[in-house]
Structure 1
């Protein structure tokens, strides 16, 4: 590269524009080459092909450095961080006796308890009139399973009956947690604290605010943990600390002067935060009430530097490959210049000593004073350089730095790599990538994380991605499906689900068809085959930019479409439901999904009746006779399967045909199957046993909810299965089985035995299977029979 710099520039830039195996390597080498030969690059740029010049031109900024900010313009941490000087040292001490630990109590602000008691949530008439005796009996017996709506029991039932049941209240499904439980807290006070603490620990994002009136050692410990580990909960934690002030400090002191460990570390951080709010003297005075020894320990704690206290016992060696000269500069906010090289190295050190869930607190100063876009680009450059140097495990902090400083563009770059890593024998690295996506935590990041949990060929990675999504959803008090609904981007579309591509003299309206493929209409409403290229009369700057926006939109929608079509079809089969509010907000009024919603038949279940309806062009609702219909505010909505429509099926098919409504997937024309009487009473589906099918057809079922078996001897998957319920699966024993990594090894698979069981596994003829095929719900049974009929058809 140094001997033939022009040739190297030409070859590297050409390779970097492609998708070949050397493209990634070339993209890593090219910035180094441009920085090394900036003048030559400027001279040669005009001679490069257009595609190469587009790649090279932005890299010239690497050589055109912004003015570096003077030391006095930088925060002290970036000039002389604590690891550059001798540590002051603080001997670990434990107080032998802690006096006067406060008892738990509730501290209401004026009028707050009354306001909480008056909190109202929407409820159905059935729920208001419900006889709670069955739930009470189940809670007394410890067998109750229900959702958050049962909180009404504790606000309406006799205190002497319902108060003892608070400990048994552990709803499996929660939403709008604070509104449901505020009246419970207002009525039962300290008696509700154990229940609220459990829910807040499980669903912190939606229930943490319920702990605000409470004061106890356990609540203080939870708040201190969230202060350190849950950045998103920081506003609530700070509100609790400020609200209880001195009382909060008294509750934190026992852990802070106790044995070394996680509670001690968290309490120390919380006391330092309170010292910043109340003053160190005030906190020391509070500690004095716990004993002279506790006062000395807290005084010693507050006298130290919190940034020094967070340093590891042994600092890592400087990272020689992370040369600031090779990266875009980190800019200060407000146009105050860029960080000098030494300050950049200090930022790198902070990233080195940060770990997932244990971030060095000084990074908060970095993100406060530095431009977010430049930090994201810096983190990506670190990551790419780490990849170039072999992705050594000891430097995996470069990957996790993306979770600390990355943005949505980081997500779009990283997600394809995470998908590919398991195929490169890098499953562990892929799992770390999932952690990074969860740490970035934006809607885009969670959307990609959810997509990985649904659509990658690596079973172990899908499982871990599902676990991450479940963690996020649980923290928000949502199911995984409810979270997925909320992650579908609107893509900047107008309220009517369209967008305008503006070329200046010409404008084109883009809508979407039943598969969410873009449809381009000119200014006269005529449908065009594709968006035309900009012409000589079009705006020379606006038109190319708008065409590029359309290309990006088309690519993004293509990814979203496959996921949403699959999710809606699965919802029809499983019977998943939405509340009226969710249906309106997340489906009907969503600018992209409305194009699918209007092409399907739905069921509204309210007031004890079920009515099939569709969403018209103007978003009003209509029944099978095309008459206006109103969805009850307390109804639930689900997608209709042909089995649900009965005698109305033909009328709905005729209506859709008359309006020329094309469906996104087979709904009204979907084949319907059923078990014979003999099959329903048996435990084996013999009509398909002994049939041989191509392995490719069998694997195609994975797109319809079927799952491959666990590899056994010689890496062969001996069965195929489909979940029916949480503890029921239809299982197919295969002969020869699917060889992992070599699916063509056994190109034909015989469906040896088909039965229903509690869990997937191999079939043993001498085993008794008590579950009968008739236990399967009619819709699921129809889908299973349709799938097997399809793959066994000649």
Structure 2
């Protein structure tokens, strides 16, 4: 049965178009003008000699490359662009625009290489380029989540006829990724009203090509076909075979083919009908085929990019793009699933999931995972949660992201607790960003932020209902102190650390072990929630003030933690307006112990000591006077509080001497050096990201080698600490960003680490 859906393959078709540059009005001039924005630092007098005598262009420094492309000698520049090595260059957007404007088609290899390496950010570089290589890139970007899809659509809209000529050979070629990409692009052109143009172009390739395109795009392609005795095929619907069937769905959400696991239909699990009775094999097969159509929804289009925006164009990288939830099934599939007994259907899904896991999680059968969003229950989510959390560590990133989509789409308390735990335990990176994005969407469906969702889903261990250690003949109510240590109340009113051990007359002796386990579980939850609130302090996560009094303080576990923390009211720019503590009666008080009334919509967050300025010593003394033991270091946390003069400055002075071992240890951690980018094998600069698109820079003298085991470094000095835009190249001599524009908490944490080097 699968043969009737076999794609038509036409060998030997080749696009022979000559590459050309097609500029929009004023575009060439605007791109050429970006040469003025290229910053290559201080120009060295030996650069002209260096670039003309270099044996390998890859020996050039990033600064030399920027200078060479912008205004260096013509010959060496064209040689560099014609066969671009693995360059350590930066300023890539403007370099690409200037290269294409200055050198025309000689820059095509460079531009194609750049766009292929970073499609979301650099895909705009192909817009003026009419070439089959550009068409292949644009077609491959239609499945991206980020701005690459936007550049692809803009390129196809600008060059539809050239796109058709370039993509028809691939769309009628051997099955594979290249053909699939070309098919997507031709479908987009058809949907954009270019069917007559595709018809005309296809006829130039012959009748077999036209037949293949009719099978792909539908009978409308044949409307104006010339007379030919050979019939054109009629489109057919996919059927269920023992192996491959066409479904829909992939991590990219663009309808890639899936298949039923390679097992006979009779080997599928048993299914029961909703009205009773066991389903026959053909109905089970139909349900399985319907589930293969499970797929992520089409992702939302990123915001429009402006290729001519000064500085960086507005782009959205795939890792930061809105992640698609699982799409609803089509009406036919929904009708089939509603005809199944739901308990039986859920068990059916778990059996398929177990088989998929046992088979090694083949990507071709990933629909099994995605389908759990339609048929899985909380038991399924309990099974999936720990598995999904483990997949990134096993390099199963695509499967992990599909798993996040399933948890977020199901959206039950159980599913979202697992998603919260996944996001909380990640160390950072794009996969963590995607987990947070899914969490944000799932929370928004409840009208909440991730922080509010985490507050409301925090487990209580039954403390809100009251707990009792019940031996049958004796009962001991459980009480918890402000430090979340559980005790029991004896019949005479005494507070005991634990209940007495059961005696021979006690009918339920297991209650003693229950209490010991409860004590461990409560401690684990208290540690986890304390760590979460400490992360919120670092990440500046806020909640409306009404949630403090309405959600956190009444919670039996969050309440005792929140009462011992210092809170802050923030303005619309997330800047601290006033620090507050929770008074004994549950009201809010300022540093002078005066009651403060805060509007319920006011953003409230956990204050970092670096935000308190001159009030920090007063708050520390006040909490000490009240003998408040904080759940984690807050007012007594090591911090760097900048003076007003320092906030207005663009850099801080350095210090030394510093041990090279300490510098190397930081570079092995979460700090990055510049030695691999400058080409001189010496790290003379370290950097760490800050919130808000900023980076903290540390200048080193004389610097440490990138290969310290071969070239041990000597004693170091930190000569300057400054801040720059993250997208910048950090080599300019003029400092532009004030330290006061940085998030004070994040800056303080990094400065504490740095200043510790000088001790």
TM-score by length of 1: 0.48
Cα distance, 1:663 vs. partner? 0.6
Report the equivalent of 1:347: 287
Q: Could you say if the C-alpha distance between residues 648 and 557 of structure 1 is closer, same or farther in structure 2, counting changes exceeding 3 Å?
A: same
Q: 1:420 to 1:652 in 2, by over 3 A?
A: same
Which residue of structure 2 lines up, in the alignment, with residue 391 of structure 1?
A: 361
3-state DSSP class of the match of 1:619?
Answer: coil
2:693 maps to which residue? 727
1:622 CA drift (Å): 4.7
Q: Structure 2 residue aligned with 1:426, among 382, 396, 416?
A: 396
How many Å separate the matches in 1 of 2:403 and 2:374? 13
Aligned to 1:269: none
| 2:401 paired with 1:438 | no
Contact kept in structure 1, 2:443 and 2:450, CA below 8 Å: yes
Change (3 A) 1:673 1:650: closer
Q: Kindly indicate whether the alpha-carbon contact (under 8 Å) linking 1:731 and 1:761 is maintained by their aligned counterparts in 2.
A: no
d(CA) in 1 for partners of 2:593, 2:289: 67
- Looking at structure 2, the residues matched to 417 and 440 of structure 1 have their Cα atoms a distance apart, in angstroms, of 16
Q: Which residue of 2 aligns with 1:597?
A: 562
Separation in structure 1 between the aligned mates of residue 714 and residue 678 of structure 2, nearest angstrom: 18
Pair 1:619-2:619 in alignment: no
CA distance, structure 1, for counterparts of residue 513 and residue 273 of structure 2: 29
Q: How does 1:183-194 map to 2 (within 5 A)?
A: none
1:464 Cα deviation from its structure 2 partner: 2.3
SS of residue matched to 2:696: strand
Aligned to 1:180: none
- In structure 2, which of residues 398, 415, 438 is the aligned counterpart of residue 468 of structure 1? 438
Q: 2:343 & 2:676 partners in 1: Cα distance?
A: 48
Name the counterpart of 1:771.
737
For 1:784, which of 745, 750, 758 is the aligned residue?
A: 750
Alpha-carbon contact 1:709-1:760 (below 8 Å) kept: no
C-alpha distance in 1, partners of 2:284/2:427?
A: 40
- Alignment match, 2:229: none
Note the C-alpha offset of 1:712. 6.3
How has the CA–CA distance of structure 1 residues 777 and 591 changed in structure 2, closer, same or farther, with 3 Å as cutoff? Answer: same
Distance 2:713 2:274 in 1: 61
Secondary structure in 2 matching 1:521 = strand
Partner residue of 1:582?
Answer: 547
Say whether 1:416 aligns with 2:386.
yes
Note the 1:155-304 alignment, pairs <5 A.
none
Distance in 2, Cα, partners of 1:615 & 1:316:
56
Cα shift at 1:593: 1.6
**What is the distance in 1 between the residues matched to 2:428 and 2:639?**
32
Note the alpha carbon deviations across 1:678-698, whole angstroms, 9 max, x for none: 796343552378554558974
> Are 1:437 and 1:445, in contact at CA under 8 Å, matched by a contact in 2?
yes
CA deviations over 1:435-462 (Å, ceiling 9, x no partner): 2222222244334334434432462311
What TM-score, normalized to structure 2? 0.50
In structure 2, which of residues 606, 612, 615 is the aligned counterpart of residue 639 of structure 1?
606
Distance, in Å, in 1 between the alignment partners of 2:687 and 2:391 is 26
* Cα shift at 1:392: 1.6
Distance 2:542 2:612 in 1: 16
> What secondary structure is seen at the aligned counterpart in 1 of 2:295?
coil
2:480: which partner in 1? 511
Of 494, 507, 514, which aligns to 2:464?
494
May I ask how many residue pairs the two structures share in their alignment? 480
Alignment check: 8 A CA contact 1:408 1:442 kept? yes
Distance (Å, rounded) in 2 between the aligned partners of 1:339 and 1:346 = 10
- d(CA) in 1 for partners of 2:594, 2:377: 48
Moved more, 482-491 or 544-553: 544-553
Q: Which residue of 2 aligns with 1:569?
A: 537
Q: How much has 1:599 moved relative to structure 2?
A: 0.4
Tell me which protein shows more helix as a share of its residues.
1
Contact kept, 8 Å, 2:646 with 2:739, in 1: the verdict is no
State the partner residue of 1:683: 651
Give how far 1:494 is off: 0.7
Given that 1:695 and 1:749 are in contact with CA atoms closer than 8 Å, whether structure 2 keeps it comes out as: no
Pairwise CA distance, 1:537: 5.1
**Cα distance between partner residues in 1 of 2:714 and 2:523:** 36
Alignment CA distance shift 1:473-1:323 (3 Å)? same
Report the alpha carbon displacement of residue 393 of structure 1 after superposing the two structures with TM. 1.5
The whole-number CA distance in structure 2 between the counterparts of 1:695 and 1:634 is: 45
CA drift at 1:395: 1.1
Most deviating of 539-548 and 626-635: 539-548
CA distance in structure 2 between the partners assigned to 1:531 and 1:397 by the alignment:
51
Which of 649, 656, 663 aligns to 2:630? It is 663
Q: Relative to structure 1, is the Cα distance of residues 457 and 726 closer, same or farther in structure 2, using a 3 angstrom cutoff? A: closer
CA 1:478–1:728 in structure 2 vs 1: closer, same or farther (change >3 Å)? Answer: farther
Distance 1:669 1:403, change over 3 A: same
Which residue pairs with 2:518 in the alignment? Answer: 550
Residues 1:459 and 2:426 are matched in the alignment: no
TM-aligned CA deviation for residue 564 of structure 1: 1.9
Cα distance between partner residues in 1 of 2:662 and 2:519? 38
Structure 2 gaps, min length 5: 6-188, 194-236, 249-256, 297-326
**2: distance between equivalents of 1:711 and 1:533?**
65
Distance, in Å, in 2 between the alignment partners of 1:363 and 1:545 is 49
Tell me if structure 1 keeps the 8 A contact 2:538–2:745: no
Relative distance call for 1:615 and 1:711 in structure 2 (3 A) is farther
SS of residue paired to 1:756: strand
| 8 Å Cα contact 1:502-1:546 kept in structure 2 | no
Q: Is the 8 A contact 2:657 2:758 kept in 1?
A: no
